[in-house]
Amino acid sequence: MMAADLHSGVEHLGEMIAAAKVIVPFTGAGISTESGIPDFRSPGGLWTRNRPIAFDEFIASQDARDEAWRRRFAMESTFAAARPGRGHRALASLYRAGKVPAIITQNIDNLHQVSGFAADHVVELHGNTTYARCIGCGRCYDLSWIKARFDADGAAPDCIDCDEPVKTATISFGQAMPEDAMQRAIELARHCDLFIAIGSSLVVWPAAGFPMMAKDNGARLVIINREPTDQDDLADLVIRYDIGETLGPFVGN
């Protein structure tokens, strides 16, 4: 599939949205760069600075937990200041218009909820970094509680109920995917007639399998990403431009 120029891409996307009955958006870190949250794989992205801490390292080592929490606190001013961008707002408009039953996201920043999606209608494949959870009993914690304990003790705290480590409510490398979210994402991908992948490099599996799944089940596929992806050849429309520019015209009431 040849990438469209911006003007005809937006026009074609508008026609596809108008013709669709059930639209499922699938978002990655690229939709949130306009909100000031860096992605992983762009130049200057998070991976060029820090090697990710895998789940088993986090469980095995207090040092790894301390380092993970130091990194998270270092990002807090960025996450706390982030507001939905034009991409988030355009998708929230389609949701309010009744065309989007739910959204699948790889993002952990909570911005789809902030833009107006009910929490129940955001299928988070990689969890959420705006709160924490005990990896043993699942008890939820506010980040402010973790920060206060960390500052007082100089170390990441364990769960007050069961003594197991407490981690941001995200899915780390090496950690099992959340079964319920995976199942819901599969159902959504299979039962839409338009699937729009937005701001994902489409290289992290199993998440990267959803566009193909939607296409195999008869949906039309749109990929919006400023860099080429391995799945562009599958798509009915590829828009290789900035997400805010592309989706800005779809921001409604």
Residues assigned a catalytic role: 126
3 state SS of 6: helix
Strand residue runs (E) in 120-192: 122-124, 127-134, 140-141, 166-170
Nearest to 132 by CA among 65, 57, 38, 37: 65
The DSSP secondary structure of 55-118, one letter per residue, reads HHHHHH-HHHHHHHHHHHHHHHHHHHH----HHHHHHHHHHHTTS-S-EEE---S-HHHHHT--
CB-nearest residue to ligand NAD: 30
Is residue 34 involved in binding ligand NAD (CB under 6 A)? yes
Residue choice 4, 20, 64, 109 for contact with ligand NAD (CB under 6 A): 109
Is residue 128 involved in binding ligand NAD (CB under 6 A)? no
Select 30 or 84, whichever has its Cβ closest to ligand NAD. Answer: 30
Nearest to 226 by CA among 217, 237, 216, 239: 239
- Tokens 């507001």 correspond to 83
Stretch that binds ligand NAD, among 64-72, 100-108, 115-123, 184-192 (CB under 6 A): 100-108
Stretch that binds ligand NAD, among 12-20, 25-33, 115-123, 137-145 (CB under 6 A): 25-33
Min CB(115)–ligand NAD separation in Å? 13
Is residue 204 involved in binding ligand NAD (CB under 6 A)? yes
Nearest to 39 by CA among 89, 92, 107, 91: 107
Is residue 230 involved in binding ligand NAD (CB under 6 A)? no
Min CB(57)–ligand NAD separation in Å? 18
Return residues touching ligand NAD (CB under 6 A): 28-30, 32-34, 37, 39-42, 45-46, 106-109, 126, 199-201, 204, 225-227, 242-243
